[in-house]
Chain A
Amino acid sequence: MTGPKLTDPVVRMEGVNKAFGANHAVRDLDFELPRGTVCGLLGPNGAGKTTAIRIILDILGPDSGTIAVFGESVTPEVRDRIGYLPEERGMYQKMRVAEHLAFFGEIKGMRHGDAMREAGKWLDRLGLADRADDRVENLSKGMQQKVQFIATVLHGPDLLILDEPFSGLDPINADLMREIVVERKSEGATVLFSTHMIDDAERICDRVCMISGARKVLDGTLAEVKGLSGRQDVVIECEGARTFLGHETVASATDHGRRIEVRLREGADPQDLLRAAIESGTRIDRFEIADPSLREIFLEHAGAR
């Protein structure tokens, strides 16, 4: 690799704006995607995720702002290093599976022979080897989804951009795709995927970026984002008196009988509560610091708009 440095973020957006007529789709977006991370682009429907992705890919030009991918503007060579799975996935229904895959490999700069070989490998791995010569239209929906996914990763891209990759997949295929995403990451690829399914993000993301109403509302590692919420919850299971719940660190508590959910005051140390509980003579079976779930943070920010 020449020119751009390895330490450069894979994607960098600065002050990006895009409007369609009077409708602002993306407003003042700054965003950096460090190398080797899996980043979830979150936000409710219509928040501007797809527009942001299209701008990164240079499918749409921004009204203002700059975009760099691998440290440079999006040239054909840069495009070849990106694998993109759009939300609306089309296929040439009349083409045969293997040649369909080879075609998409070739427009990413692969040679025909290499593309065919890679297509064969992937079809083999995803259990579609015997369908290589079938027409796409004869595949089931689930199989078509696999083929679309293969077309995205076939050329070994350094950056994967997936728009709602797991929506509409059955659980088995969804797991398979997640597995491939994680595997690509371990091989050094960087992944950006948009989703409104928070559980997906929580499961495989290192980072999240949340967009709501065309603006970025959160951005950072999972831990940072959760820390930012300034909330701490503790789950306690205990036998005996609950007098310790009057401790100064406790903001509120919900007693479910055996299980108690406690929300701490801002800045409070959970260790203080644990000490107080033990000193009160209660038998503690479980004391767990529970992160606020990403779902709650998501709803908080999306709902605040």
Chain B
Amino acid sequence: MIGRRTWTLIRREYVQRVRNKWFLFATFSVPILMLAATLLPGFLAGRSQARAMVLAVVDRTHSGLEMRLSDLLVRDSILVRSFQPDASVEDLQSLRAALGTDETEIAVKADAYLVIPENIGSGGEPGLVELRDLGGRIRRIRAATQDVVQWHRLRQAGLESVDASEALAPVTLRVQAFDPAGTRSEIFQVIGFIFAMMLYVMFLVYGQMVARGVLEEKTSDIVEILVSSVRPREMMLGKIVGIGAVGLTQVGIWAVVGATLSRFGLGGQLGELIGLGMDLAGFAFPWSILLFGFLYFVLGYLMYSAMFAGAGAMLTSEQDIQQVLIPVMMPIIVPIIIMPAVVDAPDAMWVQVLSMIPVFSPILMPVRISVMSVPLWQNLAAIGFLVLAIWAMAWVAGRIYRVGILMKGKPPTLPQLARWIRHG
């Protein structure tokens, strides 16, 4: 089916691109980024620990709340100091006022001041004054304050200190599917998300490469010699398969590097990077997800790149590139926009339907497969529709390509495009 001429086109496309120094740069800078992403969080965490901050606490209940706060916050490098200003300081307003006046002698130098009023057990509210921007640590302080106030209220209600602590101990909800094979840990939500982002980026990058490659041959006037020797269909196939092979090479290199890194346990910090505190080390990746993911990557690439090739053939100059490419990019962008909702409810009817529509399935289906166990028939249906869509898209794009490749001037309007497709 692929003739010798087409192989020549594919080989040229592949060899020229792989030998390009930008290819080498992109291919090897991504693993370096991966490595940095695995090592940097630990490094940065170490750095931020060195910069401890001081929280001064005015405890008007006089029940040792600052001790408990200190226990809770010391992990986050927040040092709690007791602060005893004069009796006028009893809520946020008075604390502010006191800190604002020169006469008040501030006994404790601190980055922030927290006041817990005496009536905290009966509707009083704690207040915090920042002298320095606390950034993300404000969340820790808020949670710890919540904890100590609840602890105080429990004790006021008559519980012993130890019992109050126990009452506040965190609860872990263990989740297990009735069918053990259907178990999906929450890690898979992260995996699904990463998967979707990777597919999204690759479809866009390689798709645009195809469109620009076509445009380049048009602007450099090389097409005319090509179309006198090979068919437009062969040209399009050469471009798509050649760049696809470049993509596979790149992804292959990344996969090898990624696998090597995770083998040495460096992948363990990826989860932490995302801020979910999950430990990915020693976690076995199901091959079925990879296999289907790869299948959708290849099929999705074929479909999107045919669209990009058609779009590239409509172009004559770089200036019009956005105008023409944005409609082509929309089907790739939409799944990313709705991704959080998909991860939340991968089984909702609208998600099931969308994930079988060919323009969305190459991104949505791999995500669903990661997050839940998708019925096999849906998977096969999505792949079947996708193959049909690729066939149709190749036909349409081929016609646009045939007419567009020799066309100069403005990109066609929609009615013109319809004519191209009809008569191509």
Contact = CB atoms under 8 A, between A and B. Distances in A.
Interface in B204-238: 217, 220-231
B406 A59 contact: yes
Interface residues of B, number: 22
Given A82-B228, A104-B225, A107-B229, A90 B5 contact: no
Contacts of B16: 92, 94-95
Interface SS of chain B: helix, strand, loop or mixed? helix
Contacts of A94: 16, 20
Contact of B228 (A57, A88, A90, A91): A57
Contact of B225 (A54, A86, A93, A106): A86
Interface in B39-90: none
B146 to A, nearest CB: 62
Contacts of A80: 229
Contact of A109 (B4, B217, B221, B226): B4
B185 interface: no
B249 interface: no
Counting chain A CB atoms within 10 Å of each CB, which of B4, B16, B225, B226 scores highest?
B225
A122 interface: no
B9 interface: yes
A103 B20 CA distance: 18
B220 A59 contact: no
Given A90-B221, A94-B20, A59 B5 contact: no
A90 B220 contact: yes
A59 B228 contact: yes
B190 to A, nearest CB: 41
Contact of A76 (B5, B12, B225, B226): B5
A106 B220 contact: no
Interface string A54-76: 10010110000000000000001
A67 to B, nearest CB: 14
Interface in A87-145: 88-95, 103-104, 106-109
A60 B403 CA distance: 9
Interface in B372-424: 406
Contacts, number: 61
B224 A108 contact: no
Nearest to A148: B225
A54 B16 CA distance: 29
A137 B228 CA distance: 23
A185 interface: no
A39 interface: no
A79 B221 contact: no
Given A76-B5, A107-B8, A109-B4, A91 B229 contact: no
A103 B12 contact: yes
Contacts of B3: 76
A98 B226 CA distance: 17
A84 interface: yes
B228 A106 contact: no
A89 to B, nearest CB: 6
Nearest to B222: A90
Counting chain A CB atoms within 10 Å of each CB, which of B3, B20, B220, B406 scores highest?
B220
B20 A90 contact: no
Contacts of B224: 59, 86, 88, 90
Given A107-B8, A109-B5, A90 B217 contact: yes
A59 B223 CA distance: 11
Contact of B227 (A59, A93, A95, A108): A59
A108 B8 CA distance: 10
A262 interface: no
A79 B228 contact: yes
Contacts of A84: 225, 228-229
B278 to A, nearest CB: 45
Interface string B1-24: 001110011001000100010000
Nearest to A106: B8
Contacts of B227: 59
Contacts of B12: 92, 95, 103
A94 B12 CA distance: 11
Nearest to B17: A94
Contacts of A90: 217, 220-225
A148 B130 CA distance: 73
A103 B13 CA distance: 11
A254 to B, nearest CB: 47
A186 to B, nearest CB: 25
Nearest to B229: A107
Nearest to B226: A107
Contacts of B20: 94
B11 to A, nearest CB: 9
Contacts of A38: none
A30 to B, nearest CB: 23
Interface in A11-52: none
A151 B226 CA distance: 12
Contacts of A89: 221, 225
Contact of A107 (B221, B230, B406): B230
A151 B229 contact: no
Contacts of A151: 225
Interface of A: 54, 57, 59-60, 76, 79-80, 82, 84, 86, 88-95, 103-104, 106-109, 151
26 contacts: A54-B406, A59-B406, A76-B3, A79-B228, A84-B225, A84-B229, A86-B224, A86-B228, A88-B221, A88-B224, A89-B221, A89-B225, A90-B217, A90-B222, A90-B225, A91-B220, A91-B222, A92-B220, A92-B222, A94-B16, A95-B12, A106-B4, A107-B5, A107-B226, A107-B229, A107-B230
Minimum-distance CB pairs A-B, first 8: A90-B222, A90-B221, A88-B221, A86-B224, A90-B220, A84-B228, A106-B8, A107-B229
Given A76-B3, A92-B12, A109-B5, 9 more contacts: A76-B231, A86-B224, A90-B217, A90-B224, A90-B225, A92-B222, A106-B4, A106-B5, A108-B229
